[in-house]
């Protein structure tokens, strides 16, 4: 028997065992239900309200739980797992402070449409509303930042609730779903029978588009002289990268991809113009402003992309493809709305897609602009430039790594100087911009893709928000390569204070940060440091060869800025070019 067939047989045997009707506790129902949903890794932190759940885990060899060192680390890891794998990420926390420590991570996932099932414990049902010890109304607190929330008051509803939660999280516009389980419900016993069907009244996301609207899009393409595609995270989340490549190949329409859309279209394609927006390419931004047809595919017209809304794409007819009808027309008036799953919409469009024949002059102009205005920076032989470090990382990994980032200057440099050709290779907090996200999300990504190189690029500020998760890398030998671009300052805040607030630097000095090499070694993780190019290459190569986790601190220039930059209140073609001016 081959290894693959043996694995398949063992999975079948497990499913048969899990599906057996049996009187068991709510806690055991939870674990069985998660395994039946295909969950292979859960991140969490125990406490009083979830003790029955954790007791059910004891000795359960089928259940893989990673004990993080903070609940925020758990939910960011679950988020990274979901983004890298396309599966639903799962985390568990106790009531009160355990649950509230998840709020930032829930909001992060909600803003970026990431499918999570978040399980929290609560006090006994009889104590809810009495301000009991470690009681918090987590369903009320998170109502604006979840797709749906459940407070399970009856153990007989638990199996159905879990199955529904996974369905809601991973269909339509994906997002986090919270299940709050009182302690007595996790202890109660009932007959467990697996739930297979889902029938949720009022929840029926539109997958298939209106064909007439797709036909209108094809007609508009044939008439356009300056068409442009703006592709976002919806392309990645729907698995539509192949359909998008086919669509662009057939229409030959130039394309720009948002921050969350990076990897959804191969960066090496000659029609790709780069990333648009506040720190986007000159060509991407000016092409939007001069286009006569802008096709938004799975992006939400975020303010960091649009700049001043009243001056955004002033000459363009707007087509917006999105699975969430609430996004269409929300920020930018839409001429041709197409509601549906991106993969399905593009699959239908590809049947009749035509080349944009009137756009030859436009394509030639953008190709020349792309060559004339690449990302630029002034390199140095005496100090490390962060852009150079990112370029070195890209070259050493062949562009095949999964890259996660925290938020700030390093995030933008990674987006600019590490081109992506594969979907689900880029994990970053886009909408909420959450510091502390980068490192734990890399742990989740590595658990999802154990055979791929995972590089977590961080600043010295954000790294300190979840640095305690180095412990689980060491204990579980999770081989994440952690990069810290250390400029000893809150870099993006400093940049804004320099350019917008007249060099009035206010509370941005991080000079009291720890020795990151010693910090890594204290957790049992290999640590390296470099402050020049020769050492940088040497220590990075050694870190990549190291079979376990590694932290590499690069001492970079303090006053380096991210350019281009569009100041708030400006249109996106009003760019500060900086070193490329």
Catalytic residues: 71, 133-134, 183, 492
Pick from 44, 111, 73, 71: nearest CA to 443: 73
- Edge-to-edge strand list for the sheet holding 317-322: 255-257, 227-231, 293-297, 317-322, 336-339
Question: Do residues 205 and 340 make contact, with C-beta atoms less than 8 angstroms apart?
Answer: no
Backbone angles phi, psi at 290, to 5 degrees: -110, 0
Q: Give the residues across from 296 on adjacent strands.
A: 230, 320
Alpha-carbon distances, residue 507 vs 269, 491, 546, 557 (angstroms): 43, 11, 37, 19
- Rounded to whole angstroms, the Cα distance separating 262 from 535 reads 30
Helix, strand, or coil (residue 320): strand
Q: Quick check: 115 and 81 in contact, CB under 8 A?
A: no
Which residues neighbour 523 within 8 Å (Cβ) at sequence distance 6 or greater?
470, 471, 473, 474
Q: What distances in angstroms separate CA 416 from CA 249, 255, 262, one per listed residue? A: 24, 16, 10
What angle is formed at CA 337 by the lines to CA 332 and CA 338, rounded to 5 degrees? 135
CA 44 vs. chain centroid, Å, equals 19
Question: How many alpha carbons fall within 13 Å on the CB side of residue 86?
Answer: 11
* SS3 state at 191: strand
Residues 470, 520 contacting (CB under 8 angstroms): yes
Q: Give dist(CA 230, CA 282) in Å, integer.
A: 15
Q: Which residues contact 140 (CB under 8 A, 6 or more apart)?
A: none
Helices (H), 398-469: 409-417, 438-448
Dist. CA 555–CA 544, nearest whole Å: 19
Here the contacts of 138-141 (C-beta below 8 Å, separation 24 or greater) are: 138/95, 138/99, 138/100, 138/178, 138/180, 139/178, 139/180, 141/99, 141/100, 141/103
Q: How far apart are CA 250 and CA 269, in angstroms?
A: 13
């Amino acid at each position: 028997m081959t290894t693959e067939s043996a694995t398949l047989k063992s999975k079948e045997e497990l499913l048969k065992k899990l599906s057996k009707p049996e009187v068991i506790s709510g806690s055991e129902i939870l674990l069985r239900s998660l395994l039946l949903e295909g969950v292979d890794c859960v991140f969490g932190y125990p406490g009083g309200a979830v003790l029955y759940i954790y007791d059910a885990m004891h000795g359960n060899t089928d259940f893989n739980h990673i004990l993080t060192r903070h609940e925020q680390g758990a939910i960011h890891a679950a988020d990274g797992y979901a983004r890298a794998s396309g599966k639903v990420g799962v985390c568990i926390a106790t009531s009160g402070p355990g649950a509230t420590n998840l709020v930032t991570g829930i909001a992060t996932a909600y803003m970026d449409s990431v499918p999570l099932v978040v399980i929290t414990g609560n006090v006994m049902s009889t104590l809810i509303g009495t301000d009991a010890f470690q009681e918090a109304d987590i369903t009320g607190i998170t109502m604006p930042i979840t797709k749906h929330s459940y407070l399970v008051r009856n153990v007989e509803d638990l199996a159905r609730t879990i199955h529904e939660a996974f369905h809601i999280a991973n269909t339509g516009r994906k997002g986090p779903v919270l299940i709050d389980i009182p302690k007595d419900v996790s202890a109660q016993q009932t007959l467990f029978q697996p739930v297979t069907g889902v029938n949720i009244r009022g929840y029926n996301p539109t997958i298939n588009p209106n064909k007439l609207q797709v036909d209108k899009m094809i007609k508009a393409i044939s008439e356009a002289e300056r068409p442009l595609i703006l592709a976002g995270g919806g392309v990645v989340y729907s698995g539509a990268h192949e359909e998008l490549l086919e669509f662009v190949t057939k229409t030959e329409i130039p394309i720009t991809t948002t921050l969350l859309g990076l990897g959804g279209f191969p960066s090496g394609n000659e029609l790709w113009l780069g990333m648009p927006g506040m720190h986007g390419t000159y060509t991407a931004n000016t092409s939007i402003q001069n286009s006569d047809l802008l096709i938004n595919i799975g992006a939400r017209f975020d303010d960091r992309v649009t700049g001043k809304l009243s001056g955004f794409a002033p000459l363009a007819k707007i087509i917006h493809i999105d699975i969430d009808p609430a996004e269409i027309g929300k920020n930018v008036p839409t001429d041709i709305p197409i509601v549906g799953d991106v993969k399905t919409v593009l699959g239908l469009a590809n049947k009749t897609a035509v080349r944009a024949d009137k756009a030859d002059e436009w394509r030639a102009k953008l190709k020349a602009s792309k060559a004339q205005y690449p990302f630029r920076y002034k390199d140095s032989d005496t100090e490390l430039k962060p852009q150079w470090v990112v370029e070195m990382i890209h070259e050493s990994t062949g562009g095949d790594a999964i890259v996660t980032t925290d938020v700030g200057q390093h995030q933008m440099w990674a987006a600019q100087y590490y081109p992506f050709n594969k979907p689900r290779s880029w994990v970053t907090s886009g909408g909420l911009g959450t510091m502390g996200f980068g490192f734990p999300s890399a742990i989740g990504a590595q658990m999802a893709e154990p055979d791929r190189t995972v590089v977590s690029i961080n600043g010295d500020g954000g790294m300190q928000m979840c640095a305690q998760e180095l412990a689980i890398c060491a204990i579980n030998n999770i081989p994440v390569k952690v990069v810290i671009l250390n400029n000893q300052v809150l870099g993006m805040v400093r940049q804004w204070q320099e350019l917008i607030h007249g060099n009035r630097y206010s509370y941005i000095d991080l000079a009291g940060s720890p020795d990151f090499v010693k910090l890594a070694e204290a957790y049992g993780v290999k640590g390296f440091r470099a402050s020049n190019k020769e050492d940088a290459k040497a220590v990075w190569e050694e870190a990549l060869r190291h079979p376990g986790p590694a932290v590499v601190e690069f001492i970079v220039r303090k006053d380096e800025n991210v350019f281009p930059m569009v100041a708030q209140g400006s249109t996106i073609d009003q760019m500060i070019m900086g070193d490329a001016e």
